[in-house]
Amino acid sequence: MKKHHVIIIVCTLVSCMFILGAFGIFLIKHLSGMNNLPNGDYIESYESPNGEYVVNSYLCSGNATVDFAVRCEVVNNKTGDTRNIYWEYHCDTADVSWVDDNTVLINGHYLNVITDSYDWREYI
């Protein structure tokens, strides 16, 4: 085989691996985002000091191969909009307290309920 053909084949293989890798990363980021979390079993609700928001906490049960996880969502009482703001694996409790009207402390993580979220998968 000529050297020219080998270079073309190697470049083609490298390009295909790059495209497949980029597609895989895209799928992982979009399929495993905060919008695709399991519902879990309701634990408790925590209303903000001004009553504008409620944080609901849920325990997502583990099984033989997966440990417990905690999911928290914030609900805007004025609009009814709901958004997941907290996802913690290897955890079976939700210690939630409000710091002020827009900031909540969940298991040691300070979150602005308007802009922030915590997903343990981003820190591994």
- Give the pLDDT confidence of 18-58 residue by residue, as tens digits: 676 655 555 555 555 778 788 999 999 999 999 999 999 99
In Å, what is the CA distance from 73 to each residue of 16, 42, 54? 39, 11, 8
Q: Are 34 and 84 in contact (CB under 8 A)?
A: yes
> In the predicted model, is pLDDT for residue 112 greater than 60?
yes
Q: Are 1 and 90 in contact (CB under 8 A)?
A: no
CA distance 3 to 96: 65
What was the pLDDT predicted at 26? 54
What was the pLDDT predicted at 84? 96
Section 97-119 average pLDDT? 97
What was the pLDDT predicted at 18? 67
**What is the value of pTM for the model shown?**
0.73
Q: Are 107 and 94 in contact (CB under 8 A)?
A: yes
Section 109-119 average pLDDT? 96
DSSP letters for 51-104: SSEEEEEEEE---SS---EEEEEEEETTT--EEEEEEEES-----EEESSSSEE
